[in-house]
Amino acid sequence: MKFLDEAKVYLRSGNGGAGAISFRREKFVEYGGPDGGDGGRGGHVYVECVDGLNTLIDYRYQQHFKAKIGDHGTGRNRTGKHGADITLKVPKGTQVFDDTREVVLADMMELGERVLLLEGGKNGLGNTRFKSSTNQAPRRSTPGGDGIEMWVWLQLKLIADAGLVGLPNAGKSTFLAAVSRARPKIADYPFTTLHPQLGVVRADDREFVLADIPGLIEGAHEGTGLGTRFLGHVERCRVLLHLVDGTSDDVAANYRTVRQELEEYGHGIGSKPEIVALNKSDAMSSDVVAKKLQQLSTAVGAKAMILSAISGEGVEPILRALRDQIADKIEQNTDAVVAAGSAAWSPEN
């Protein structure tokens, strides 16, 4: 299945049905009177988070979604049928934006979550509603309300525990393939990875999800290269694993390039916990590894780790470090929720 993380779709809720003007005429009934029924409301437009989806590819082939209109009311006080609702089914982690891409209409984070995007038009009222002691034969009804239409953007941000970042050809795909059953494309040219990849990684007794996004280059936050399109996939990660190609001429400059792009992109990515590793140690002598590790550690301001996804050197320590960082973030989030719940209640309330 082809990966698609962004789609623009047109939505329209249904018009409401009109109320009826009708009068009761029955044999052997002395008095008639109004009996026009109300119309049915127009169909709503919902978005729902469902299991079994990991892409928005369905919305490439269909971009227009219209709910049904409500039926008109009829005589004998019969109400028109409501218009059928329509539901957009999306994977977990999908955000719905308005046409300007500035307003978030929905953020689908939980399976089964269902959000009303557009309300259907209100139902019209039949003439029975306008009967009174001074107007016993009203010839008045109301039309149904109009539905609402708008264009929206669907944007999928993968939900992973850890995210892989780095320049093109830093070895991110090779590392993901080495530690999980994911089989990303691996080749010796830049931008081999053209869309995010997910893999489930096991470190001792714990499993977590690792996301590999396409490589970043200088100016990515301004649209250079593959731009910022895929940076959104690491917004929800708890920790970043920053891989630096040890065979490059200036590992410190490579690290700073990616860090600057993360900072410029914003959305909290630059403040996430980060583990930095000097990759491809198998392709260098021990003296070169030591020298470049020192240069990278100086640029990072902390001890960088050594890694070779090919030989397996440093893989287990890095996985354990990721596992511990993820566990710490989960514990912090749990404590924050508990603290918020405790602060919301007091004996005086």
Condensed to tens digits (0 to 9), the pLDDT of residues 176-186 reads 888 887 676 56
Task: Give me the residues paired with residue 10 across strands.
Answer: 64, 151
Model pTM? 0.75
Q: Say which amino acid occupies 192.
A: T
Place of tokens 């081999």: 192
**Stretch 88-112: mean pLDDT:** 93
**pLDDT-wise least confident of 95-99, 198-202, 254-258:** 198-202
Residue type at 177?
A
For the chain, residues classed under CATH 3.40.50.300 are 162-339
Q: Per-residue pLDDT for 221 more than 60? A: no
pLDDT at 32: 82
**DSSP class per residue in 196-256:** -EEEEEEETTEEEEEEE-PPP-TTGGGT-TTTTTTGGGGTT-SEEEEEEETTSS-HHHHHH
Q: Which of 258, 180, 187, 189 is nearest to 212 (CA)?
A: 180
The pLDDT of 254-279, averaged and rounded, is 88
Of 187, 186, 265, the closest CA to residue 225 belongs to: 265
**Which of 118-122, 165-169, 198-202, 336-340 has the highest mean predicted lDDT (pLDDT)?**
118-122
Give 196: exposed, middle or buried? Use CB within 10 Å, 0-12, 13-18, 19+.
buried
Query: What integer is the mean pLDDT of 281-292?
Result: 92
User: Token pair for residue 176?
Assistant: 């993901």
What is d(CA 279, CA 175) in angstroms, rounded to the nearest whole number? 9
* Mean predicted confidence (pLDDT) in 26-40: 87
What is the CATH architecture assignment of 162-339?
A: 3-Layer(aba) Sandwich (3.40)
pLDDT digits (tens, 9 = 90+) for 226-256: 556 667 777 888 899 999 999 998 999 999 9
In order, the DSSP letters of 158-187 are ---SEEEE-STTSSHHHHHHHHSS------
Q: What is the pLDDT of residue 47?
A: 97
Classify strands 114-118 and 45-49 as parallel, antiparallel or unpaired: antiparallel
Residue 100: helix, strand or coil by DSSP?
A: coil
How crowded is the C-beta side of 273, counted as CA atoms within 13 Å? 16
CATH class of 6-156: mainly beta
Amino acid at 9: V
**What's the rounded Cα separation, in Å, for the pair 212 and 194?**
10
Q: What is the mean pLDDT of residues 311-327?
A: 91
Ranges of CATH 2.70.210.12 domains, the chain? 6-156
Residue type, 29: V
